[in-house]
């Protein structure tokens, strides 16, 4: 099922899978491709048969950045008018879990796309970085903000200013990625994890994501208040009744996502 030019899309076992598919240019992200990704994410967010979204890249890179050929001749006013960041911002509105699997390069906009995922699994040989500094620009889709939140100011500046590639080990050490996996097992283990999350009550999964996201902007007291309301809300769900009843009856729960 792929009506898309630059991505491949499939749905199986509750997992909506988007695979970046411009391997000849290391999945360099052009505008159409970003629009395709966001359109599918929006669709997956609505569909009942998709519980978790997985994002991967074909070939030897996750994505080596935004398409330099496409933007080399742009000027500031054209970029402002194109308002491309709108598409990137839509990515942050997705309610379902997004799990990224990075093999090879995740650079520039490709790293920013990876950082937009909720969880990141990476191959042991993955390389991350913001080489924008080497071509006279800087990250523009959340790189300076997200990397700093994860690594702290000094480490983030080191990578942003040097433009060097961060090895997977360092990414793991600073919580930029969740797990480092042997390259040949990356997809298998990512999908295994995704299937596990997909089997959980979908409303709990959703409200946990919502609450965790608030932790970055709210005070502790505000965040705890928000968490509590979500906790109460789950007592209106069929899955809470089923989950607790199944526990008492010593059987496996059958969740409906309602």
Q: Tell me which residues touch ligand DAK (CB under 6 A).
A: 25-26, 28, 64-69, 79, 84-85, 88, 105, 107-109, 112, 131-132, 135, 140-141
> Encoding tokens for residue 23?
């391997």
Q: How many CA atoms lie within 13 A of 127 on its CB side?
A: 13
* Minimum separation from the CB atom of position 187 to ligand DAK (A): 21
* Minimum separation from the CB atom of position 220 to ligand DAK (A): 33
Residue closer to ligand DAK, measured from CB, 93 or 215:
93
Active site residue 132: yes
* Minimum separation from the CB atom of position 106 to ligand DAK (A): 10
d(CA 123, CA 112): 17
Residue closer to ligand DAK, measured from CB, 158 or 222:
158
d(CA 202, CA 107): 32
Residue closer to ligand DAK, measured from CB, 164 or 242:
164
- What backbone torsions phi and psi does residue 155 show, to the nearest 5 degrees? -65, -40
Q: What is the DSSP letter of 66?
A: B
Residue closer to ligand DAK, measured from CB, 41 or 88:
88
Q: Which of 48, 80, 132, 188 is catalytic?
A: 132
Q: Which of 80, 112, 188, 249 is catalytic?
A: 112
Contact in structure between 97 and 209 (CB atoms under 8 Å): yes
Tell me the residue number closest to ligand DAK, measured at CB: 108
Strands (E) across 103-207 are located at 105-107, 119-123, 127-129, 166-167, 179-181
Residue closer to ligand DAK, measured from CB, 65 or 100:
65
* Minimum separation from the CB atom of position 85 to ligand DAK (A): 5
Query: CB neighbours of 31 closer than 8 A, spacing ≥ 6?
Result: 70, 82, 84, 87
| Total residue length of the chain | 258
Which residue from 139, 130, 78 is spatially nearest to 105, judged by alpha carbons? 130
- What backbone torsions phi and psi does residue 107 show, to the nearest 5 degrees? -120, 150
* Minimum separation from the CB atom of position 250 to ligand DAK (A): 52
Active site residue 112: yes
The residues annotated with a catalytic role in the active site are: 112, 132
């Amino acid at each position: 099922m792929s009506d898309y030019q630059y991505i491949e899309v499939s749905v199986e076992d509750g997992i909506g899978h988007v695979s970046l598919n411009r391997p000849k240019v290391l999945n360099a992200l052009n505008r159409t491709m970003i629009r395709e990704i966001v359109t599918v994410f929006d669709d997956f967010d609505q569909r009942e048969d998709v519980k978790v979204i997985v994002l991967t890249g074909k070939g030897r890179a996750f994505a080596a950045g935004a398409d330099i050929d496409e933007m080399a001749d742009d000027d500031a006013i054209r970029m402002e008018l194109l308002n491309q960041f709108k598409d990137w911002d839509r990515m942050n509105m997705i309610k379902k879990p997004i799990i990224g699997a990075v093999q090879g390069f995740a650079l520039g906009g490709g790293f920013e796309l990876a950082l937009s995922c909720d969880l990141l699994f990476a191959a042991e040989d993955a390389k991350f970085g913001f080489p924008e500094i080497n071509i006279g620009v800087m990250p523009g889709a959340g790189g300076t903000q997200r990397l700093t939140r994860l690594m702290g100011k000094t480490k983030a500046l080191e990578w942003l200013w040097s433009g060097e590639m961060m090895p997977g080990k360092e990414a793991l050490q600073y919580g930029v990625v969740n797990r480092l996996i042997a390259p040949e097992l990356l997809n298998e283990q990512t999908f295994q994890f995704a299937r596990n999350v997909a089997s959980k009550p979908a409303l709990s999964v959703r409200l946990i994501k919502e609450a965790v996201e608030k932790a970055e902007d709210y005070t502790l007291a505000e965040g705890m208040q928000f968490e509590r309301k979500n906790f109460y809300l789950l007592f209106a769900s069929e899955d809470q009744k089923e989950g607790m009843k199944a526990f008492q009856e010593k059987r496996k729960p059958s969740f409906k996502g309602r």
